[in-house]
Structure 1
Amino acid sequence: MTAAAQQPEVVVRPDAADLARTVAGALLDLVEHAQAAGEIPGICLTGGTIADAIHREVARQTVSRNVDWRQVELWWGDERYVPADSPDRNAAQARAALLDHVDLDPALVHEMPASDAGHTDVAAAADAFSADVRSHGRGGFDLVMLGVGPDGHVASLFPGYPQLDVDAIALPVTDSPKPPPERITFTFPALNRNRQVWFVASGDGKADAVARALGGADPHDIPAAGVTGVERTVWWLDDDSASAR
């Protein structure tokens, strides 16, 4: 279920705004370094309030950085299975905050399918996205960013759900405890094959889940405990989310 054991790094900033600025700067550093080495970095984005703040900070900071956004490949770790124009989609939120403000190559932006994309159901959409990853995912991403829910979920892998024990790339979720009920998510095997994993959490509502994940909880109870990067795992926290450690 989990990648090879390693000690995660923990970085704590005073508040959510400082956290967003710090993570955005680190993300741009990663892209700059990869491109300086002649690589096209593959980055898997997440959704949520702190992710939105990070994306806005990336857009703000990128004007002073040496980044060619047409040479960045983007993915998402999970998605709400709703129409393409729904503001509830993680991809829509990322576009409004970041993607619409930089010059991207559309061929390198891999959104998970929307409910009106022509697939028969969410399971077929998950299969189609899995095929996209097999064709273009290069065996793993340079970076996967993940939020953490108060219940310890990551992507759309929820405590006690059967998706936690399936060896696949992407799976459908039809009964999410958070609306909307239908989603597509990467699995543990897919999340654990990437060079770096960054967890980002803000607010005291996440403190217990963060503490339990860092304390080695069973991933069936706290799915965030079941994901690590192959080379590096970083927990980016603010004072509130780190308060129960």
Structure 2
Amino acid sequence: MAASYDTKSKSELRIFESLDDLSTDLAEYIAQLSEDSVKERGLFTIALTGGSLISLIWKLCEAPYNKTVDWTKWYVFWADERAVAKNHVDSNYKLTKEGFLSKVAILHSHIYSINDNVTVEEAAGEYKFAIRQLVKARTIDVSESNDCPKFDLIILEVGSDGHVASLFPRNAALEHEEWITHITDSPESPPERITFTLPVINSASNIAMIATGKDKAIPVQVALESLGDASLPASMVNPTEGKLVWFLDRYASAFIATSGKGDLEIL
């Protein structure tokens, strides 16, 4: 079961009874965006994160999506990455490769991971340069409002402290306007990471925000009720031109007030 309604930010909110239901709907959502983008632009640009995301998109690796999605048109990026070797247990690339990329027919040349042989600052600079070149080539679309890269889809997970990507509460990276920045003081290990900044995240055509588990209930509630609250990065995700869809399980949505919403729809 899922409930869907508009929040204050005109975003769509989907609530699911189980992780299996969430994964089913998320797979269909991604596949449909991929199809629409390929029809419109001839390709699909998607930025992923780490955490439990890969375990939630695994249904894309199975029928019908493994056959119906045009994987050769996908271009894959990471909204954040840990500054560790690609074979390190903390690597988002490693997690994504083992749980997703190795199971579908995405072209290797269309997968853009960070350089793990340089400093985190240099890695951020190189990643920004690579994305800038793809913007110039119009592989990645560009936002009309701020000339930022406009990814077709960015998928984010909300942390228990309300962080998204590697943008943590009260971290200076929240104020950065460069496309990509680096941090060396992550409150979660490992400390060195690169991350998309808020201007890039909010320039996306579509943003999927995922939150599951009881420890996400409070940050989800605050994010939905306090749009733009600088103390909570998740509340600062508000696309300028695109659409934001929240995917929540029943635990993460426990404190969301639905009373008085006459347009609440049970899917």
Asked whether the two chains share a fold, i.e. TM above 0.5, the reply is yes
**Structure 1 residue 63, shift from structure 2 partner:** 4.5
Structure 1 residue aligned with 2:245, among 218, 228, 234? 234
Instruction: Report if the CA contact (8 A) 1:153-1:159 is conserved.
Output: yes
Q: Give the aligned length.
A: 236
Instruction: Tell me how large the CA RMSD over aligned residues is.
Output: 1.6
5+ long unaligned stretches in structure 1: none
Q: Distance in 2 between matches of 1:201 and 1:14?
A: 13
* Counterpart position of 2:254: 243
Instruction: Describe how 1:137-152 pairs up with structure 2 within 5 A.
Output: 137=135, 138=140, 139=142, 140-152=150-162
Query: Shift of residue 217 of structure 1?
Result: 4.8
| 1:238 maps to amino acid | D
Query: Which residue of 2 is the match for residue 58 of structure 1?
Result: 60
User: What do the CA deviations read for 1:101-152 (whole angstroms, capped 9, x no partner)?
Assistant: 11121221111232xx2x2x21111111111111114221111000000100
Q: Choose between structure 1 and 2 for higher RCO, CA contacts under 8 A separated by at least 6 residues.
A: 1
Change (3 A) 1:166 1:14: same
Deviations 1:46-78 (A, max 9, x none): 2112x1222311112454652121111111100
Once residues 254 and 73 of structure 2 are traced to their aligned partners in structure 1, the CA distance between those partners, rounded to angstroms, is 38
What is aligned with 1:129?
A: 127
Q: Distance in 2 between matches of 1:220 and 1:32?
A: 35
Structure 2 residue runs of 5 or longer lacking an equivalent are 1-7, 143-149, 257-267
Which of 18, 21, 25 aligns to 1:18? It is: 21
Of 143-152 and 87-96, the range deviating more from structure 2: 87-96
The range that moved more, 216-225 or 13-22, is 216-225
| TM-score between the two structures when normalised by the length of structure 1 | 0.91
2 CA distance for matches of 1:180 and 1:42?
A: 27
- Report what 1:104 is aligned to: 106
For residues 64 and 181 of structure 1, do their structure 2 counterparts lie closer, same or farther at Cα, with a shift above 3 Å needed?
Answer: closer
Identity level (%): 30
1:82 equivalent among 81, 84, 87:
84
**In 2 relative to 1, CA 64–179 (structure 1 residues): closer, same or farther, beyond 3 Å?**
closer
What is the TM-score normalised by the length of structure 2? 0.84
User: What residue in structure 1 maps to residue 213 of structure 2?
Assistant: 203
Q: Which has the larger radius of gyration?
A: 2
Q: Is the 8 A contact 1:159 1:223 kept in 2?
A: yes
What amino acid is the match of 1:86?
A: H
**Does the CA-based 8 Å contact 1:210-1:242 persist in structure 2?**
yes
Pair 1:185-2:195 in alignment: yes
